[in-house]
Amino acid sequence: MTTESQATAAASGAGATARFRENKHVEGATSQERVNALASRLVKAVNDIVTDEKVTYDEYNAFKSWLISVGETGEWPLFLDVWVEHSVEEVANANRHGSKGTIEGPYYIPDAPVQQSPATLPMREDEPGTPLLFQGEVRNVAGEPLPGALIEIWHADDLGFYSQFAPGLPEWNLRGSITADEQGKFQINTIQPAPYQIPTDGACGALISAAGWHAWRPAHIHLKVSAAEHQLITTQLYFEGDKHIADDIASAVKPELVLAPTGRADGAGREVTYDFILDPRD
């Protein structure tokens, strides 16, 4: 039997690349003027590094070989989301007044099964990990509740693997779309995810080890929260005390996004409350 621990960088990279191509439509996203301006700056930045650092032919060829392997292992989505997306997100959401967003990352799948709050995420019988009750309210910036708001949630399991990107996991494991109640409140039962390690056997892992970096993201829950007439927010929530809160390899932690769950009175795991504030659509 194939289990999630046998996940390979190439298989999860191929999955993430296929998902990206299906979900993101990029034709006509920008004009010739912008392509000229942005591509010219990118090329110049690379040439400046070569000149300043006196890059050798051996280094140039190592770089070329590495870029080829990023494509071969399907790791462009992983590479870009880990090292570039955070600044794109900062620019995109600079003018919001509601809850903080952060990066989407490579493992979102749209159209997870819809459930009404209170809900339990799809999970295996005896899903490993500490049970977590995640609850809260969705409001607008004026403090009014948003009944029927949609909370899309996805996260890794207790070994740090995502369903549909590692073998042996049920299709929608730890993924769901939950509608808030008439007061905009939601209650979601799940388990606490484990920290995520960038696959060590792919191109991103090779870069990390060649550079002497670490490969970790702190444990996190991904969310997309939306309501009619409001801007969708893509975010992540983290856990206080996590070893990599201060040095996330993906630079996606913000202090407002760190949860401090408490033990439940009934002893059944932990619980935490977090409210989402959505900006109006412009």
Which residue ranges make up the site for ligand MBD (CB under 6 A)? 78, 81-82, 103, 105-107, 196, 217, 250, 252
End-to-end CA distance of the chain: 51
Among 105, 122, 145, 193, binds Fe ion (CB under 5 A): 105
Residue 103 binding target from ligand MBD, Fe ion, none, CB below 5 to 8 Å by type: ligand MBD
Whole-angstrom distance, CA of residue 141 vs CA of residue 2: 47
- Strand, coil or helix: 55: coil
Q: CB nearer to Fe ion: give 105 or 122.
A: 105
Do residues 257 and 235 lie in contact, with contact meaning Cβ atoms separated by under 8 Å? yes
Q: CB nearer to ligand MBD: give 107 or 134.
A: 107
Residue 244 binding target from Fe ion, ligand MBD, none, CB below 5 to 8 Å by type: none
Contacts of 47 (CB under 8 A, 6+ apart): none
Q: Least distance in Å: CB of 105 to Fe ion?
A: 4
Q: CB nearer to ligand MBD: give 185 or 222.
A: 222
Find the residue with minimal CB distance to Fe ion.
Answer: 105
Q: Which residues of 142-157 are buried (b: 16+ CB within 10 A; e: fewer)?
A: eeebbeebbbbbbbbb
Whole-angstrom distance, CA of residue 86 vs CA of residue 63: 23
Q: CB nearer to ligand MBD: give 145 or 193.
A: 193
Question: Does 74 interact with Fe ion (rule: CB under 5 A)?
Answer: no
Contacts of 242 (CB under 8 A, 6+ apart): 195, 218, 219
Whole-angstrom distance, CA of residue 197 vs CA of residue 31: 37
Show the tokens assigned to 70. Answer: 């990023």
Do residues 13 and 205 lie in contact, with contact meaning Cβ atoms separated by under 8 Å? no
213-252 mask for Fe ion (x: CB under 5 A)?
Answer: ----------------------------------------
Q: CB nearer to ligand MBD: give 21 or 281.
A: 21
Q: Least distance in Å: CB of 282 to ligand MBD?
A: 26
Site of interaction with Fe ion (CB under 5 A): 105
